[in-house]
């Protein structure tokens, strides 16, 4: 079935991978984020894959912008069948060393704007007699880690909001709310984050690809589920956090510094918390080997070995 799907956060990472995935399935796409040029690129990628797609540059934290986005979907495609919300920003730093306005904008973007999206989507679904909302949480909505207080607070809040909406949706047949909770994913979010810690962040291993999360999101649109976890260690981390909180708290700081931060120094900066950086936007963040480069490297090495063997043959 062809659906009209709004994707908020479509210019980078998981949102962009989701747009590509849904374009391949023939869905009609309404693509939104702040960077107009990157958004046009994503729209063109989706059209090249055979999908009908429009780009609507907007900021999810701006009053009225989310309603205007839903109106654009109605004008272009007659309504909204599903909404995938992936827009978010991140900030690294001790809570007491992070500027209050940065902390607040992270919470505004990652939690309050998600609530605005949910409000608008649910209103449209109710009028249309159904629809599916996919929110993107994180394993950090179930556990905590130091130096990411705004992000963690927002993701815990989103967890509570999603569960509440799911309970209320029992009264509105046809309306589904899914929460997809990734662990570490190879996206640009780590380098785009604000930073007051002095070292650039990185996704701690094991790292999933954004395409894998995108497939989980697309699957939720086909068969809505309450919560989907993507990440091999998510269950282990939740178990440790819940059952052994003392041990967890002793280990999480050193592990975060070891596996969650690079050695690359960085001066304090706001990242993309207030303004986008189109130069840093892509599907992948470069933390996993690029499959195309691996194939080329393996192919090149195989060709070299084959020609060396041929030279030695009589």
Ligand X SMILES: NC(=O)c1ccc[n+]([C@@H]2O[C@H](COP(=O)([O-])OP(=O)(O)OC[C@H]3O[C@@H](n4cnc5c(N)ncnc54)[C@H](OP(=O)(O)O)[C@@H]3O)[C@@H](O)[C@H]2O)c1
Residue nearest to ligand X (CB): 13
- Nearest CA among 280, 283, 9, 284 for reference residue 136: 9
Selected catalytic residue, list 92, 147, 151, 196: 151
Rounded to whole angstroms, the Cα distance separating 11 from 238 reads 30
Our CB check for ligand X shows the closer of 270 and 311 to be: 270
Of 194 and 272, CB closest to ligand X: 272
- Find all residues with CB under 8 Å of 7, minimum gap 6, and list them: 15, 18, 19, 22, 29, 30, 31, 32, 84, 86
Q: Sheet containing 82-85: give its strands across.
A: 53-57, 28-33, 4-8, 82-85, 131-136, 175-182, 227-230
Give 4 or 12: the residue with its C-beta nearer to ligand X: 12
Structural contact between residues 165 and 83, judged by C-beta atoms closer than 8 angstroms: no
One residue of 3, 4, 6, 13 binding ligand X per CB under 6 A: 13
CB of residue 260 vs ligand X: minimum separation in angstroms?
A: 10
Tell me, yes or no, if 151 is annotated catalytic.
Answer: yes
The answer to whether 209 contacts ligand X (rule: CB under 6 A) is: no
Dig out the tokens for 180 from the structure: 């997809």
* Interaction residues for ligand X, span 138-177 (CB under 6 A): 138
Distance CA 2, CA 27 (A): 5
Q: Which C-beta is closer to ligand X: that of 9 or that of 224? A: 9
Is there binding between residue 35 and ligand X (CB under 6 A)? yes
Least separation, in Å, of the C-beta of 54 and ligand X? Answer: 16
The reply on whether position 11 binds ligand X by CB under 6 A is yes
Scan residues 103-122 and list those touching ligand X (CB under 6 A).
Answer: 109
| List 150, 203, 260, 271, residue binding ligand X (CB under 6 A) | 203
Total interface residues for ligand X by CB under 6 A: 31
Binding window for ligand X (CB under 6 A); candidates: 73-81, 84-92, 115-123, 242-250: 84-92
Instruction: Determine, following the binding rule CB under 6 A, whether residue 182 of this chain makes contact with ligand X.
Output: yes
Report the nearest approach of ligand X to the CB of residue 293 (Å). 20
For ligand X, which residue of 3, 4, 6, 14 counts as binding (CB under 6 A)? 14
Under 8 Å between Cβ of 184 and 256: no
For position 59 contacting ligand X by CB under 6 A, the verdict is yes
Stretch that binds ligand X, among 29-37, 94-102, 120-128, 299-307 (CB under 6 A): 29-37
Query: Candidates 82-90, 160-168, 241-249, 250-258 — which segment interacts with ligand X by CB under 6 A?
Result: 82-90
- Residue pair 51/29 in contact (Cβ under 8 Å)? The answer is yes
Interface residues for ligand X in 229-258 (CB under 6 A)? none
Q: Are strands 199-201 and 261-265 parallel, antiparallel or unpaired?
A: antiparallel
Which position among 149, 159, 166, 192 is part of the footprint of ligand X (CB under 6 A)? 192
Question: Contact positions toward ligand X, by CB under 6 A?
Answer: 9-15, 33-35, 38, 59-61, 86-89, 109, 136, 138, 182, 184-185, 187-189, 192, 203, 272, 276
Q: Which residues are catalytic, by number?
A: 151
């Amino acid at each position: 079935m062809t659906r009209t799907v709004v994707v908020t956060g479509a210019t980078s990472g998981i949102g962009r991978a989701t747009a590509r995935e849904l374009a391949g399935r023939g869905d009609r796409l309404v693509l939104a984020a702040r960077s107009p040029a990157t958004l046009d690129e994503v729209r063109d990628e989706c059209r090249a894959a055979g999908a009908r797609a429009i780009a609507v540059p907007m900021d999810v934290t701006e009053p009225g912008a989310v309603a205007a986005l839903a109106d654009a979907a109605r004008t272009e495609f007659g309504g909204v069948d599903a909404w995938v919300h992936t827009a978010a920003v991140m900030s690294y730093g001790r809570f007491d060393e992070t500027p209050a306005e940065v902390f607040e904008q992270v919470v505004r973007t990652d939690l309050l704007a998600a609530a605005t999206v949910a409000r608008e989507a649910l209103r449209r679904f109710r009028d249309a007699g159904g629809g599916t909302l996919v929110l993107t949480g994180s394993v950090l909505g179930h556990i905590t880690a130091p130096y990411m207080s705004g992000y963690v607070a927002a993701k815990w809040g989103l967890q509570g909001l999603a569960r509440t909406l799911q309970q209320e949706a029992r009264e509105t047949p046809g309306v589904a709310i899914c929460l997809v909770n990734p662990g570490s994913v190879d996206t640009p979010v780590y380098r785009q984050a604000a930073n007051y810690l002095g070292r650039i962040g990185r996704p701690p291993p094991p790292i999933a690809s954004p395409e894998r999360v995108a497939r989980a999101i697309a699957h939720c649109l086909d068969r809505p589920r309450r919560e989907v976890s993507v990440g091999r260690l998510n269950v282990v981390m939740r178990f440790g956090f819940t059952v052994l909180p003392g041990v967890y708290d002793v280990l999480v700081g050193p592990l975060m510094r070891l596996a969650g931060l690079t050695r690359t120094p960085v001066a304090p900066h706001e990242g993309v918390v207030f303004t986008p950086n189109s130069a840093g936007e892509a599907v992948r963040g470069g933390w996993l080997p690029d499959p195309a480069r691996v194939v080329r490297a393996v192919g090149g090495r195989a060709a070299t070995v084959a020609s060396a063997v041929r030279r030695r043959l009589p």
